């Protein structure tokens, strides 16, 4: 069943017309990465401590969706959608605000396409007899702000970490084998699938700065100085990405003002934009060891 699910996700991303911008003559997303976590992985319970007590577990997702039934989910499907080369390229040269391509990605890629992908995959599995839930569609799902900045009660990045798809960056992005310029989504299902193993227990292993003390490229790319040695100032970042000027910029080119123009400068024109830089270092080290 694992390969059937992956094949259907790949097919949808490749063929669905909503994954294409006629304006820019390019797809929003390239071929995805898909991995699976056990719904009973202890990390999901630990997230209540690491993130917030309100953060949902897969079991709570099912309890809310099927409150009249006693059903236990088995698997969490996590999907990485790499931003396409043309959109990333357009944002590399930006120094103050996101490119038009990156801005419209937030409306037509994030909203329309990813929502459609989630709905399709839910129907696909439900039709095969497996109850499947998109946590983002639950009435209890919320995005809010605390003293540290924006967060939600279902973190796609933390789900992806549980599924072994990558680790976090100093800028709070998520570095996968296809880089940090990605979007993430996930579903909870009662399909029993063998979980993928995490390559590391360190939640920052793929970040050059946090692992090696080098790089700082994203520090220099941030137009508002929200990324420093102390970490990522989520509040300053959010004001830039979702504030009034950002919303006006999105509206001016046909995007959804509520989505804002975003920024993405710290995800482009940096070493981890489209690959895992630590993976490249390890490969080189391995070659050196063999040579010796």
Structural domain includes residue 189: yes
288 pLDDT above the threshold of 70? no
* Domain that includes residue 44, residue range: 2-287
CA dihedral 163, 157, 4, 177 (to 10 degrees): -80
Structural domain includes residue 106: yes
pTM exceeds 0.85: yes
Structural domain includes residue 292: no
Q: Collapsing DSSP states into helix, strand and coil, what is residue 135?
A: helix
172 pLDDT above the threshold of 70? yes
Structural domain includes residue 10: yes
Structural domain includes residue 37: yes
Angle formed by the axes of helices 2-15 and 114-127, nearest 10°: 140
238 pLDDT above the threshold of 80? yes
pLDDT, tens digit, for every residue of 138-147? 999 999 888 7
The mean per-residue pLDDT over the stretch 40-55 comes to 96
Instruction: Quote the longest CA-to-CA distance of the chain.
Output: 64
Structural domain includes residue 142: yes
Would you state the pLDDT for residue 290? 41
Number of domains in the chain: 1
Give the integer Cα–Cα distance in Å for 264 and 189.
31
Q: Distances in Å between the alpha carbon of 289 and those of 282, 283, 284, 292?
A: 10, 10, 9, 5
Structural domain includes residue 158: yes
Structural domain includes residue 177: yes
Tell me the DSSP string of 204-223: TTT-HHHHHS---HHHHH-T
Do 97 and 263 touch, CB atoms closer than 8 A?
yes
Give the integer Cα–Cα distance in Å for 209 and 231.
11
Would you state the pLDDT for residue 282? 62
Do 194 and 219 touch, CB atoms closer than 8 A?
no
């Amino acid at each position: 069943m694992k390969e059937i699910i992956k094949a259907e996700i790949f097919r949808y991303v490749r063929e669905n017309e909503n994954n294409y911008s006629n304006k820019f003559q390019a797809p929003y997303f390239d071929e995805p990465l898909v991995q699976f976590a056990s719904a009973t992985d202890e990390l999901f319970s630990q997230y209540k401590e690491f993130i917030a007590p309100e953060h949902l577990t897969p079991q709570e997702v099912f309890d809310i969706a099927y409150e009249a039934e006693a059903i236990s989910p088995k698997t969490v499907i996590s999907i990485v959608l790499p931003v396409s080369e043309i959109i990333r390229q357009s944002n590399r040269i930006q120094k103050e605000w996101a490119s038009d391509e990156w801005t419209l990605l937030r409306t037509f890629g994030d909203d329309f396409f990813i929502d459609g992908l989630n709905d399709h995959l839910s129907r696909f599995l439900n039709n095969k007899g497996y109850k499947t839930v998109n946590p983002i569609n639950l009435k209890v799902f919320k995005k809010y702000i605390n003293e540290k900045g924006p967060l939600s009660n279902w973190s796609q990045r933390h789900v992806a970490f549980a599924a072994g798809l990558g680790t976090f960056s100093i800028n709070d992005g998520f570095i996968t084998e296809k880089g940090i310029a990605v979007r993430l989504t996930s579903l909870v299902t009662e399909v029993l699938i063998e979980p993928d193993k995490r390559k590391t227990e360190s939640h920052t292993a793929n970040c050059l700065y946090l692992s090696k003390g080098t790089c700082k490229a994203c520090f220099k790319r941030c137009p508002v100085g929200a990324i420093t040695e102390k970490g990522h100032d989520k509040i300053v970042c959010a004001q830039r990405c979702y504030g009034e000027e950002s919303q006006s910029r999105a509206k001016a080119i046909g995007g959804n003002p509520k989505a804002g123009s975003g920024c993405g400068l710290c995800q482009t024109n940096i070493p981890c934009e489209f690959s895992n830089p630590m993976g490249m270092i390890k490969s080189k080290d391995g070659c050196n060891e063999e040579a010796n």
